[in-house]
């Protein structure tokens, strides 16, 4: 990690240490919130711009797929999702709406590492449409209580997890580099992540391209397998978006305002 980046993330790392070394946060508070049972674990969903942006048909100022040379060339954040062990999950857990002012100081980092890769405005829990961040906080973040009790803590922790578990560099180090011609064994990609983080991920594909890689964590942020014992979750996802035995990691390509691919970003892993 370059020194400048390190300085930028240091405060986040300190905050994550505080959040993750305090197991009482997850255990001492009542086990339901706004009528929903307390969740069991977190799924951390990361998206691959090389796959996601291939579907882009139009550009808008907020679409990370259309950023030219600032186009994301690493896995970016989709969301941190509280889940139940039975394969279901809570959503829209509190009456509070997203407030952009609460995370103003994080905006630069969020723009870079948690960009929306779409022009569509997702729906919000209390009606209307909003930003990708608003949707993720209201739908998933509000259900992370009592681990996180406010929007700011949630977004800081997500950034910290992202910096700590750098899946792009793990895959790169294992030889899984973006390519429009290579196919990689799915098992090899899973093993690379398992070797690095000692827990098995969940991979979601679009046709034969990796679209998302999900890491899972206990409530104290220790890594855990995404499928515990039974394969409930894996089956749930793969039944809709299964990955073949050999998958591709398409090279990220920025999209022009007309929706055509216009800017190929070279070998670019962190």
Contact residues for ligand 5GP (CB under 6 A)? 43, 47, 78-79, 81, 83, 89, 116-118, 120, 122, 132, 135, 139-140, 240
Beta carbon of residue 80, minimum distance to ligand 5GP (angstroms, whole number): 9
Nearer to ligand 5GP, 15 or 131 (CB): 131
SS3 letters across 137-162? HHHCHHHHCCCCCCHHHHHHHHHHHH
Q: Answer for the pair 15, 157: CB distance below 8 angstroms, yes or no.
A: yes
- Please identify which of the residues 135, 140, 212, 251 carries the catalytic annotation: 140
Smaller CB separation from ligand 5GP, 126 or 195: 126
* Dihedral, CA of residue 245, residue 83, residue 176 and residue 58, to nearest 10: 90
Beta-carbon count within 10 A of 21 CB: 10
- Minimum distance of ligand 5GP from residue 120's CB (angstroms): 4
- Which CB, 16 or 203, lies closer to ligand 5GP? 203
Nearest CA among 26, 1, 25 for reference residue 13:
1
- Catalytic-labelled residue, pool 38, 78, 135, 151: 78
Closest by Cα among 136, 144, 139, 150 to 38: 144
- 136 tagged catalytic: yes
The distance of closest approach from Cβ of residue 36 to ligand 5GP in the complex, given in angstroms and rounded to an integer, is 12
- The reply to whether 78 belongs to the active site is yes
Nearest distance in Å: CB 209, ligand 5GP: 14
Note the Cα 126 to chain centre separation in Å: 23
What is the token pair recorded at 165?
């578990």
CB nearer ligand 5GP, residue 56 or residue 160: 56
| Residues annotated as part of the active site | 78, 136, 140
């Amino acid at each position: 990690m370059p020194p400048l980046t390190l300085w930028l993330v240091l405060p986040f790392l300190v905050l994550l240490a505080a959040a993750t070394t305090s197991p009482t946060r997850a255990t001492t508070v009542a086990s339901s919130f706004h009528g929903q049972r307390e969740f069991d674990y977190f799924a951390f969903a990361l998206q691959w711009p090389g796959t996601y942006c291939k579907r882009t048909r139009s550009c808008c100022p907020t679409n990370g797929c259309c950023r030219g040379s600032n186009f994301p060339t690493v896995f970016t954040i989709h969301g941190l999702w509280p889940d139940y062990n039975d394969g279901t999950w809570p959503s829209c857990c509190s009456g509070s709406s997203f407030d952009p002012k609460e995370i103003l100081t994080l905006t630069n980092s969020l723009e870079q590492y948690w960009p929306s890769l779409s022009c569509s405005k997702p729906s919000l829990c209390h009606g209307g449409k909003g930003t990708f961040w608003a949707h993720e906080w209201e739908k998933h973040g509000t259900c992370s209580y009592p681990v996180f009790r406010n929007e700011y803590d949630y977004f800081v922790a997500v950034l910290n997890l992202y910096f700590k578990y750098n899946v792009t560099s793990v895959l790169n180090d294992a030889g899984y580099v973006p390519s429009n011609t290579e196919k990689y064994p799915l098992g090899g990609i899973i093993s690379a992540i398992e070797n690095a983080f000692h827990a098995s991920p969940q991979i979601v594909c679009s046709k034969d391209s990796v679209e998302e890689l999900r890491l899972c964590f206990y409530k104290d942020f220790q890594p855990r397998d995404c499928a515990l014992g039974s394969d409930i979750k894996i089956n749930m996802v793969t039944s809709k978006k299964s990955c073949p035995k050999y998958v591709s990691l398409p090279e990220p390509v920025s999209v022009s305002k007309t929706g055509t691919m216009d800017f190929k970003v070279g070998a670019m892993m962190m």
